[in-house]
A and B are shown apart, each in its own frame.
Chain A
Amino acid sequence: MNPIRLTGRAAIGLTRMTGQVTIFAARGLARVGQHPAELARQVVQIGWLSLPVVGLTALFTGAALALQIHSGGERFQAGDVVPAIVAIGMARELGPVLGGLMVAARVASAIAAELGTMRVTEQIDALVTLSTDPVGWLVSPRLWAALLCVPMLVGVGDVIGIMGGWLIGVNALGFNSAIYLSNSWAYLESWDVVSGLLKGAVFGLIVALSGCWFGMTAAGGAAGVGRATTNAVVAASVGILAANFALTGLFF
């Protein structure tokens, strides 16, 4: 096939899909508060049940970061910067990105699998025949739950990550406990934390949107649900990394 035609077709397809996903997201976000019980259920599913995986990820990341910074910093006699760098690194970058990626792995796949199965087993058609808007009942609570919960997860992850650095700093690197904690807060600015939480909100939306879009558009039985799940996780992960780059450029 003509490469120009192929490129044009791909560009049109991408533009069309971007428009469709944007309208889909806007419809989902606009139906806020229609089903509060469903929203509460999704807050538990997306927020509360993601806490262990996000917490463990943050703990080990903070600990590893402390070891790396200490080892690298020693080369130019800057080992003392460990507490400040761990705190800033967790709040600005690693907390939101790794938290977002862990939520993407856990939540985007679960949403895509659940909605995809509902799609191919006609449960979504059944909703329509019962005079219920599937976007209001299925998509909106998931988008809002992720939008609200992921920043909270990021905040908790920041604290746990800093504590992971503190554990290693005090027990393996010879830092004084009080000085470590004091240095952690001393160099941390409020914007470091707020920017990370804002990133978390955007990443939460990307995760839920990927899961909902690929789930709601799944077709072709079990294989289709499998494809939807894979696509949702890939799109959410790549989306998080791309959005992180853009937001970092915007914020700093």
Chain B
Amino acid sequence: MLAVRGLSKAYGAKRVLDGVDLDLAEGESLVVIGGSGTGKSVLLRCILGLETPDAGQVLWRGEPLAGQQAAFMDGFGMLFQNAALFDSLPVWRNVAFRLLRTMPKTQARRIAIDKLARVGLGPEVADLYPAELSGGMRKRAGLARAIAADPKVIFFDEPTTGLDPIRAAAINALIRGIVDETGATAITITHDMSSVRSIADRVALLDCGRLRWQGSVAGLDSAEDDYLRDFVAGRARPMARGPQA
């Protein structure tokens, strides 16, 4: 359904992505893990078209995404790391932002309130502004916005960053539930192993801009890759690594 071929990206002398190849099947939940600064978010931004890769391409249903960006954008949802809710709009308008272009306000508001309920937020939250929400509530509202238009593909960028373990577990359960319910394809970027085990059908490890390992969740514990084993176990490693362009 979605494929990444030879994706490379450098900022000045620092090569962040170095020939990444990935394939994602319809309905699959792929989690990309890796340490801080290994290119996970840049990979996501390149797939979304927010960054232009130096080399390589993203294929959507076998065709280059570059030529069908508008159609692709209409069919996906995105949960940003810090939710990225629009400060100037109330929560329901944030959730219904895309819907308001195609349907009357009352209908969009009703759907927004339904989606808020799906992520565990009551209707009393609808008219609040993002600044009035806690971190966990903002994340849930962001999730409601990501699923508001029933997307075929959903991206999650560090969905549990900044949350306590209980709220993180709740967000992970929500994401898994939504992916299962809707049959949507999901790509999650994280370095939180509890998210990996809750959300993933398949896991890919990105290291120094390269895809180092990929396999099933069960394969994480039996993998022979030293770096992966240390990553999963949370063991310290020497800090200075990585290729330079």
With A129-B76, A131-B70 known as contacts, the answer to whether A121 contacts B82 (CB < 8 A) is yes
Interfacial chain B residues near A131, Cβ < 8 Å: 70, 73-74, 98, 101
Interfacial chain B residues near A123, Cβ < 8 Å: 84-87
With A126-B78, A131-B74 known as contacts, the answer to whether A121 contacts B84 (CB < 8 A) is yes
Interfacial chain B residues near A125, Cβ < 8 Å: 45, 48, 50, 80, 84
Could you tell me the dominant secondary structure of chain A's interface residues? Answer: helix
With A131-B98, A132-B97 known as contacts, the answer to whether A126 contacts B74 (CB < 8 A) is no
Q: Report whether A122 and B82 are in contact in the complex, using a CB–CB cutoff of 8 Å.
A: yes
Tell yes or no: A14 within 8 A of B by CB. Answer: no
Q: In the complex, what's the smallest C-beta–C-beta distance from B133 to chain A, in angstroms?
A: 14
CA distance A118 to B84 in the complex (A): 8
Q: Report whether A129 and B78 are in contact in the complex, using a CB–CB cutoff of 8 Å.
A: yes
Tell yes or no: A130 within 8 A of B by CB. Answer: yes
Tell yes or no: B162 within 8 A of A by CB. Answer: no
Q: Which residue on chain A has the smallest CB distance to residue B72? A: A131
Tell yes or no: B177 within 8 A of A by CB. Answer: no
- The residue from B49, B77, B80, B97 contacting A122, defined by CB atoms under 8 A apart: B80
CA distance A211 to B70 in the complex (A): 29
With A129-B48, A131-B70, A132-B97 known as contacts, the answer to whether A122 contacts B76 (CB < 8 A) is no
Q: Report whether A130 and B98 are in contact in the complex, using a CB–CB cutoff of 8 Å.
A: yes
Q: What string of 1s and 0s marks CB contacts (under 8 Å) between B74-95 and chain A?
A: 1011101110111100000000
Q: Which residue on chain B has the smallest CB distance to residue A123? A: B84
Interfacial chain A residues near B49, Cβ < 8 Å: 128
CA distance A221 to B69 in the complex (A): 29
Interfacial chain B residues near A117, Cβ < 8 Å: 87
Interfacial chain B residues near A118, Cβ < 8 Å: 86-87
Interfacial chain B residues near A130, Cβ < 8 Å: 73, 97-98, 145
Question: Would you list which residues of chain B between 182 and 197 have a CB under 8 Å from chain A?
Answer: none
Q: Report whether B73 and A129 are in contact in the complex, using a CB–CB cutoff of 8 Å.
A: yes
Interfacial chain A residues near B80, Cβ < 8 Å: 122, 125-126
Interfacial chain A residues near B85, Cβ < 8 Å: 123, 126
Question: Would you list which residues of chain A between 17 and 55 have a CB under 8 Å from chain B?
Answer: none
Interfacial chain B residues near A129, Cβ < 8 Å: 48, 50, 73, 76-78
Q: Report whether A122 and B86 are in contact in the complex, using a CB–CB cutoff of 8 Å.
A: no
CA distance A164 to B145 in the complex (A): 53
Q: In the complex, what's the smallest C-beta–C-beta distance from A201 to chain B, in angstroms?
A: 26
CA distance A129 to B49 in the complex (A): 9
Question: Would you list which residues of chain B between 79 and 125 have a CB under 8 Å from chain A?
Answer: 80-82, 84-87, 97-98, 101
Q: Which of B45, B50, B78, B84 has the most CB of A within 10 A?
A: B84
Q: Report whether A126 and B70 are in contact in the complex, using a CB–CB cutoff of 8 Å.
A: no
Q: In the complex, what's the smallest C-beta–C-beta distance from A134 to chain B, in angstroms?
A: 11
Q: In the complex, what's the smallest C-beta–C-beta distance from B159 to chain A, in angstroms?
A: 14
CA distance A131 to B98 in the complex (A): 8
Q: What string of 1s and 0s marks CB contacts (under 8 Å) between A99-143 and chain B?
A: 000000000000000000110011101111111100000000000
Beyond A126-B85, A128-B48, A129-B76, 19 additional contacts (C-beta under 8 Å) are A118-B86, A121-B82, A121-B84, A122-B81, A122-B84, A123-B86, A125-B48, A125-B50, A125-B84, A126-B78, A126-B80, A126-B84, A126-B86, A128-B50, A129-B50, A129-B73, A130-B97, A131-B70, A131-B73
Subset of 14 A-B contacts with CB under 8 Å: A118-B86, A122-B80, A122-B82, A122-B84, A123-B84, A123-B86, A123-B87, A125-B50, A126-B78, A126-B80, A126-B84, A128-B48, A128-B50, A131-B73
Q: Nearest 5 pairs between A and B by C-beta? A: A126-B84, A122-B84, A129-B78, A131-B73, A122-B80
What is A's interface to B at a CB cutoff of 8 Å? 117-118, 121-123, 125-132
